[in-house]
A and B are shown apart, each in its own frame.
Chain A
Amino acid sequence: MLSQFLQFMFSGVTIGATYALAALGFTLIYNASNVINFAQGEFIMLGGMLTVFFLKSGLPMPAAIVLAIAVPAVVGILLEKLAIEPAKGADTVSLIIITIGASLVLRGIVQIWRGKGPAVFPAFSGNEPIIIGGAALAPQSLWVIGTSGVIVLALWLFFNRTVAGKAILATSVDPLAAQLAGINTQWVLLVSFALSAAVGAIGGILLTPITMTSYDVGIMLGLKGFVAAVVGGLGAGHGAVAGGLLVGIIEALTAGYISSAYKDAAPFLLIFVVLFFMPRGMFGAKKTERV
């Protein structure tokens, strides 16, 4: 009984860590530009698909991974430069629609280039599970959870301990005042898109040995990352992490105890329940301003 529960929790935390990375991706771009980037899921897809491609081209794993993070980061920059920036001044809804268009384009390109079939590569440290309390934990799950933890910590340090990170925060609070302080807000946007894409791609790479990837995995992963970001409180970094884990765990428990047919519905039910009682999400920004 307990071992079964543990088993569900393991898979929930593993997938939840990926949702947390996706949610952080949403948060990064939302904070910098107020845009919900619905192409976020495609960065996750690109991470996995590109790793498979680079491995097949004969590159060693580390090089393939570095490239599969770098290329989406460049795609993120191009997305900002070619799609978001020319529409500067358009209202947020238009910008969001542009990101949906961008995601269709990315998905289409990968579908034509790599085909519709699933793709996978072997786990980083084999498949010999670790047995804890009667439940099996795959080594790849440890990779997912550990790497996500490191990324969350790194992002936290970046935003709380470096001037560059604080410049990005300042830009999200008040772009005009940030410009007047000498911050190049254009640069901030580019960095945010690149960071967001890289974080998403890392999630996609880590998850691929467990769930496999294909040209269209970005839709669901992206939407669930969005749910995680909203449930956690849009714009809050720690909320994104908590939201991601919560969505992952609820999904795994639904699949385990109810039916895996309903597992994809669970996160979307969750968003209703959470927003009904906490309209700003779990960690939504409380206003502390005095005028």
Chain B
Amino acid sequence: MANARETVQPTHAPEPASAAPLLSIRGLGSHYGPIAALRDVSLSVGRQQLIALVGANGAGKTTLLRTISGVQKATSGRIEFDGEDITALRADKRVRLGICQVPEGRRVFGPLSVEDNLRLGAYCRTDKHAIAEDLGRMYAMFPILKEKAKSPAGTLSGGQQQMLAIARALMGSPRLLLLDEPSMGLAPLLVEEIFNAITELRKQAMTILLVEQNAHAALAIADQAYVIESGEVVLSGSGKELLENERVREAYLGI
């Protein structure tokens, strides 16, 4: 496995192609105290698709991902994953179903080693052999993580921490990968590397919901995209359509 720099093996079994969406959200609302952070949000994520979510700071993108992950409570509406209602399901059980999130700001477990971080990503899994295999795949995908396997995660650079955060989520063997601002605060070269990794995952038919402030990069690789403003979905379409949309170009692409 050490010499593996040939095409990285798929990190997961692709979703069977099916017309029914993997994730379907209807009329979702969420509040912080009395303040509505999400209002009547409806969207769906098709299998093997990359869906991008763009919007300004504070528009509710992160809240939406947190509500999907179950760490933020839905106050109305319904979330269905693979046809199952998960609106009230506890967060750790959603991870067991295969919803894995790379949180905003990376949030690696700083004092724990890189390898421990990865193993904790597989916390819900019991198939030791497959976990060891996936660990090898992560090291092949991000060789720097192998080099630093024994270092505390907190000593990694920002870009390395982001790779670790992505690899940690992948260790959960996701059926749906939620990525929250993976390029935030990174140098342009690292942004490119992170987007290469996302594109690679997409080629492997991973289902991805991507939240990005870097709207151009996100829309360029998205199958479908949603624009969210003040907690509401205001626009949706294919990534290409939105890239050409006048309103999106003005508000988010600075053109």
Give chain A's interface residues, CB within 8 Å of chain B.
163, 166-167, 169-170, 173-174, 176-185, 285, 288-291
Contacts and interface: CB of A to CB of B under 8 A. Distances in A.
B109 A177 contact: yes
Given A173-B112, A177-B108, A290-B155, A163 B103 contact: no
B191 to A, nearest CB: 17
A289 B110 contact: yes
A288 B111 contact: yes
B110 A180 contact: no
B92 A182 contact: yes
Greatest chain A CB density within 10 A among B70, B119, B120, B158 is at: B120
The secondary structure that dominates the A interface is: helix
A204 B138 CA distance: 47
Given A173-B112, A288-B155, A180 B123 contact: no
Contact of B172 (A178, A181, A288, A291): A181
Nearest to A182: B95
Interface in B107-155: 107-112, 116, 119-121, 123-124, 152, 154-155
A192 B158 CA distance: 32
Greatest chain B CB density within 10 A among A170, A177, A178, A289 is at: A177
Interface in B49-77: 69-71
A177 B123 CA distance: 12
Contacts of A183: 92, 120, 123
Contacts of B70: 179
Contacts of A173: 109-112
Contacts of A174: 107, 109
A170 B123 CA distance: 11
Q: Which 3 A-B pairs have the closest CB atoms?
A: A182-B95, A182-B124, A177-B107
B101 interface: yes
Interface string B91-103: 1100110001101
B154 A167 contact: no
A232 to B, nearest CB: 17
B71 A166 contact: no
A167 B91 CA distance: 15
Given A176-B71, A182-B96, A170 B90 contact: no
Contacts of B103: 176-177, 180
A180 B119 contact: no
Given A184-B90, A288-B154, A166 B119 contact: yes
Contacts of B96: 182
B123 A181 contact: yes
A286 to B, nearest CB: 10
A9 to B, nearest CB: 34
A166 B120 contact: yes
B110 A170 contact: no
Contact of B116 (A166, A177, A179, A182): A166
Contacts of B124: 182
B69 A180 contact: yes
A290 B154 contact: yes
A7 B166 CA distance: 58
Nearest to A175: B71
A287 to B, nearest CB: 8
B86 interface: no
